[in-house]
Amino acid sequence: MGILQVVVDGVDSVKLTEVDAPQATSDDVIVKVEQCGICGSDLGYISMGGLLGPGVPMRLGHELSGTVVEAGSNVSHVAVGDRVIVNPVANSNQIGNGGPEGGFTPLLHVRGAAQDEQGVIKLPDTLDFEQGALVEPLAVSMHAVHKASLTAQDRVVVFGAGPIGLGIVLVARYYGVDDIVVVDLSEQRLKTASQLGAAPFKASEGDLPQFLSERWGSRDVMGMPMPAADAFFEATGAGPVFNQIVNMAPVNARVVVVGVHKAPVEFDLVNLLLRELQVSGSMAYPDEFSQVIEMLASGKVDPSPLVSHRYDLSEFPDALAMARDQAQALKVLVACQR
């Protein structure tokens, strides 16, 4: 019996196609996928025709939650009926990231689950499947926050009010950081930033360094006053934004790049030198999955504002079109049983 699967089959070409139902070995788990989110990287994979080369179909989807419907005899940490989330990069499976499986499907084959207990993780009873599907992107945000070594007293600027940037706000506030400014072009996204407790700034209006200096004061850099911010997060993937940060950051500021840049960025190393900036890249989530689950289970944060739209798997073309509308969409979730 076949099942549906979202597949990238060419440049800017994606289709919902029928594939064989998964067959588990003694080390594997089959998950009935309930919710799967559309990630910005999914949009990138589609635009470039996938990761596997011209003409090689690539299965899509890596932000997911569901229920175990089959567990191999060697799998002991989860059982049939358990509500779970899936770490897509555990055990080198690369689910939805160039591996043989993708999460936009009713049934997902998780290979080698017996070898890596972090590949399939139980979802607490207090969390629903939508919250479960947010664990993966929130783990990306949490890792970025960890890279910045934030303290509660830090003054923070987040460039980009997409799901990752807003996730950074959510995580930072969970850690006690209260003074956060979010910069974006979308009024709708900035409204959500405000709802999460950040101060919004529309990038196309006003003078950002002046706004920050009026809010926090300034620090002298070689005779030039710069906004007294402590940490900057680049979550847009836009080269000019990184240069804007480097040009306005004060001495010893921390800069974390979590946005995916699709082109080389040229910048003045003298600015880096004079300001003694600490610039870090942040990639994925080496250890954050369980910490995000703990954060959500605490009840101290509400991730629901991150979800802007919901679709059924049968409506995937519409879901994809909405996810591409950055002025309106945040996290678009797909119910994979419908």
Reported pTM: 0.97
Q: Specify the pLDDT at position 313.
A: 98
Q: Specify the pLDDT at position 320.
A: 98
Indicate whether 288 belongs to any domain.
no
Residues 145 and 272 in one domain: yes
Residues 90 and 152 in one domain: no
User: What is the helix, strand, coil percentage profile of the chain, to 5?
Assistant: 30, 30, 40
Indicate whether 126 belongs to any domain.
yes
3-class SS of residue 136: helix
Q: Closest Cα partner for 96 from 69, 53, 57, 70?
A: 57
Indicate whether 293 belongs to any domain.
no
Counting the structural domains of the chain, the total is 2
Beta strands in the chain (DSSP E): 2-10, 13-20, 29-38, 58-59, 63-71, 83-86, 107-110, 120-122, 155-159, 179-184, 199-202, 218-221, 224-227, 231-234, 254-257, 278-281, 307-312, 331-335
Indicate whether 62 belongs to any domain.
yes
Q: Specify the pLDDT at position 262.
A: 85
CA distance 165 to 182: 8
Angle 187-195/163-174 helices, nearest 10 degrees? 10
Indicate whether 294 belongs to any domain.
no
Residues 152 and 263 in one domain: yes
C-alpha distance from residue 114 to each of 17, 18, 27, 63 (Å): 29, 28, 5, 21
Query: 253-288, pLDDT tens digit by residue?
Result: 999 999 998 889 998 899 899 999 999 999 999 899
C-alpha distance from residue 22 to each of 5, 17, 18, 39 (Å): 11, 15, 12, 24
Q: Specify the pLDDT at position 243.
A: 95
Indicate whether 205 belongs to any domain.
yes
Residues 196 and 222 in one domain: yes
Q: Specify the pLDDT at position 53.
A: 81
Indicate whether 225 belongs to any domain.
yes
CA distance 108 to 29: 8
Residues 149 and 25 in one domain: no
Residues 44 and 65 in one domain: yes
Residue type for position 175: Y
Instruction: Indicate which CATH number applies to the domain containing 100.
Output: 3.90.180.10
Q: Specify the pLDDT at position 292.
A: 98
Residues 91 and 130 in one domain: yes
Per-residue tens of pLDDT for the chain, all 338 residues? 799 999 999 999 999 999 999 999 999 999 999 999 999 999 999 999 999 887 899 999 999 999 999 999 999 999 999 999 999 999 899 999 999 999 999 999 999 999 999 999 999 999 999 999 999 999 999 999 999 999 999 999 999 999 999 999 999 999 999 999 999 999 999 999 999 999 999 999 999 999 999 999 999 988 899 999 999 999 999 999 999 999 999 999 999 999 998 889 998 899 899 999 999 999 999 899 999 999 999 999 999 999 999 999 999 999 999 999 998 999 999 999 99
Instruction: Indicate which CATH number applies to the domain containing 161.
Output: 3.40.50.720
Indicate whether 290 belongs to any domain.
no
Residues 75 and 154 in one domain: no
Q: Specify the pLDDT at position 186.
A: 96
Residues 166 and 257 in one domain: yes
Q: Specify the pLDDT at position 137.
A: 98
Residues 151 and 277 in one domain: yes
On whether the CB atoms of residues 54 and 86 are closer than 8 A, the answer is: no
The domain of 237 spans 141-281
Residues 108 and 218 in one domain: no
Residues 177 and 122 in one domain: no
C-alpha distance from residue 3 to each of 105, 128, 335 (Å): 7, 24, 14
CA distance 4 to 337: 10
